[in-house]
Amino acid sequence: MQLEIHGQQIEVTPALRDYVDNKLQRLDRHIDQPFEVRVQLGLDKPNHRAEATINLSGKTLHADASAIDMYAAIDLLADKLDRLLVKHRKKQVDHHRGENPVRDGSFG
């Protein structure tokens, strides 16, 4: 996973960078191929905003979250991205190779 972190009207401190990196490491378990994640952290007073765009081969996924503080927004963003990747992975499964009563021998 290649990770880019940018700040909009906010300085991305090393602590924020490490937090985002640790939270998004769990996305690696869903996708085997290399992918790119671009995270943008910003401030929409009074809330903090975190947005992410994931570039997979042939597909772009986007999620955003806002919360009272930046760490809560990053947590929400990580959860949304996790759900998006699970949904994307389920769509990638070849449904013709799935369970079929004719192939199981239970058809009859």
For 93, phi then psi, to 5°, come to: -65, 135
Specify the number of domains making up the chain. Answer: 1
Interval 11-66: pLDDT, tens: 999 999 999 999 999 988 888 788 899 999 999 889 999 999 999 878 899 999 99
Confidence of residue 98 (pLDDT cuts 50, 70, 90): low
Query: Residue 71: which CATH number?
Result: 3.30.160.100
Half-sphere exposure of 13 (CA within 13 A, CB side): 5
With a CB cutoff of 8 Å and minimum separation 6, the contacts of 91 are none
Residue 82 structural domain: 2-104
